Amino acid sequence: MFERHLDPSDIYILRGYGIEVFINNLDSPSSMVFDEEGNILISDSGRATGEPRILKSANGHLETIAEDFVTPISGINYLNGVLYVSHRGFITKIYKDGTRQNIIMGLPSNGDHVNSPVTFSPDNKLYFGQGTVTNSGVVGNDNKWVTVSPLLCDYTGDYVMLNGQNFLTDNILTEAVTDDPALTGAFSPYGIPNIEFEIRRRYIKASGSILRANLDGSNLEQVAWGFRDPAFLNFDNSGQLYSVNNGFNPVGSRPIENASDDFYYITPNQWYGWPDFSGGEPVDSPRYTPATGTQPTLIFKNQPNVPPRPYVRFPPNSTLSSFQFNYNRSFSTYGDVYVTEFGSTIDGHFGEGTPYAGSGHRVSKIDMKARNISTFAINKNGFPSSIARSGGLERPVHLLFGPDGAMYIVDMGYNLDGDPSVFIPRTGVVWRVYRTAESI
């Protein structure tokens, strides 16, 4: 069985901090929380084994306390003795006695992106992000799920009119036929073309939206939409909502290059730009033209509003997976934000142009006053440990601050070469970051 080499000394971390292995040999963990008794709960996403579950760490041992979820579990959160599990299409509550209840179901998570972990507002509502079905609004041959879900497509969060572009591909639903092209329009199932001036109606459970509900799942409503992958949300101590959003990739029928991954201050009832804007800029700008040379054009004839600009922008392929505000002055500057960067999720092998260095595979810090980004922890060679054969970080997916004041970083582990959605069992790690006597 493959055994991951671990060596904290291979990680560069900001002066004044140390890092150590806290838990290892996990199967594709996606998040962790502490309960009120200090017990550790870890979500196994299921990406390594196909068996998503919730683990409890007690007295140095891990035990399974809940299973039978839909792969993947994107994350967990904990409030008032209840564990909230976000898994594909569902949000499920698990009570201390082991009973469970699906409080939100039928989320449009069977495409490229899923529903995010929940966060809780000061007025006791739960909030979560809902990712899009496709990369940029058009079902294409990059979507592996087309053969099993041929009617799946994205849905808008407001009434919009389409420009009517159509995108030509070989028809993957009729592989035996040598000459059978598929013509697909935006916000339509595979092989269904659009015409100009088509109208799409408003859906509450829209693709790329932020949703909220009561803690029992009732009164589900839309907060904002126009995101591609709002993978993590959180409130600051003043009650302001923030979200990450992972931008377009240069793949599929409507590839878009150089799209940033963004950190947003959320204003309710706004459209944030997807599928026509990246970080507040229209994608028909030359900078977004992919290597194929096909200039992206705008899908919507009427833009719902001028999309808000991000609070800060990260480089393409950072893949922002979680963030936490620091309110412990003994750890760092009060109010700064720490962000896990998962790294590129584009299929490909090392040497094929997939960016491994320069973005992702690290923990970054946002100075909220200056609005700038710095690196907090990264492998000394700049590459994920699987590429450099080092003992450091691989796929940082979640972080939180523990009751001991330390930072805990969940590292999902090694993915299969060329497929960043499938992971190798027992390569997941939880790292612990602590302050040293040395001042920063």
pLDDT tens for each residue of 215-247:
999 999 999 999 999 999 999 999 999 999 999
Q: Under CATH, which number does the domain 8-435 receive? A: 2.120.10.30
Which residue from 246, 224, 437, 223 is spatially nearest to 323, judged by alpha carbons? 246
Q: How far, in Å, CA of 228 to CA of 137, rounded?
A: 9
- Per-residue pLDDT, averaged over 145-163, amounts to 98
- Per-residue pLDDT, averaged over 272-286, amounts to 98
- Per-residue pLDDT, averaged over 5-11, amounts to 98
Q: Say yes or no to pLDDT of 76 above 60.
A: yes
Among 67-71, 80-84, 290-294, 342-346, the range scoring the smallest mean pLDDT is: 290-294
Q: Say yes or no to pLDDT of 353 above 90.
A: no
Which residue from 119, 85, 319 is spatially nearest to 236, judged by alpha carbons? 119
* Region label for 78, one of left (φ > 0), alpha (ψ between -120 and 50) or beta (otherwise): beta
User: In this structure, are residues 208 and 226 in contact, taking their beta carbons and an 8 Å threshold?
Assistant: yes
Which residue from 396, 398, 399 is spatially nearest to 413, judged by alpha carbons? 396
Among 59-68, 102-111, 305-314, the range scoring the smallest mean pLDDT is: 59-68
Give pLDDT, residue 2: 81
Give the Cα-Cα-Cα angle 210, 141, 148 (nearest 5 degrees): 75
Domain spans in the chain, listed from the N-terminal domain onward: 8-435
Q: What is the mean pLDDT of the chain?
A: 95
Q: Say yes or no to pLDDT of 178 above 80.
A: no
Give pLDDT, residue 357: 56
Query: Residue 64 burial by CB count (10 A; 0-12/13-18/19+): exposed, middle or buried?
Result: exposed
Q: Say yes or no to pLDDT of 368 above 60.
A: yes
CA terminus-to-terminus distance, the chain = 41
Q: How far, in Å, CA of 108 to CA of 294, rounded?
A: 29
User: In this structure, are residues 394 and 428 in contact, taking their beta carbons and an 8 Å threshold?
Assistant: no
The model's pTM is 0.96
Q: How far, in Å, CA of 317 to CA of 343, rounded?
A: 6
- In the chain, what percentage of residues exceed pLDDT 70? 97
Give the Cα-Cα-Cα angle 318, 323, 324 (nearest 5 degrees): 155
Phi and psi dihedrals of 385, rounded to 5? Answer: -65, -30
Give the chain as a 3 state SS string: CCCCCCCHHHEEECCCEEEEEEEEEECCEEEEEECCCCCEEEEECCCCCCCCEEEEEECCEEEEEEECCCCCEEEEEEECCEEEEEECCEEEEECCCCCEEEEECCCCCCCCCCECCCEECCCCEEEEEECCCCCCCCCCCCCCCCCCCCCCCCCCCCCEEECCCEEEEECCCCCCCCCCEEEEECCCCCCCCCCCCCEECCCCCCCCEEEEEECCCCCCEEEEECCCCCCCEEECCCCCEEEEECCCCCCCCCCCCCCCEEEEECCCCCECCCCCEECCEECCCHHHCCCCCCCCCCCECCCCCCCCCCCEEECCCCCEEEEEECCCCCCCCCCCEEEEECCCCCCCCCCCCCCCCCCCCEEEEEECCCCEEEEEEEECCCCCHHHHCCCCCCCEEEEEECCCCCEEEEECCCEECCEEEEECCCCEEEEEEEECCCCC
Give pLDDT, residue 3: 87
**Position 350 confidence tier, pLDDT thresholds 50, 70, 90:** very low
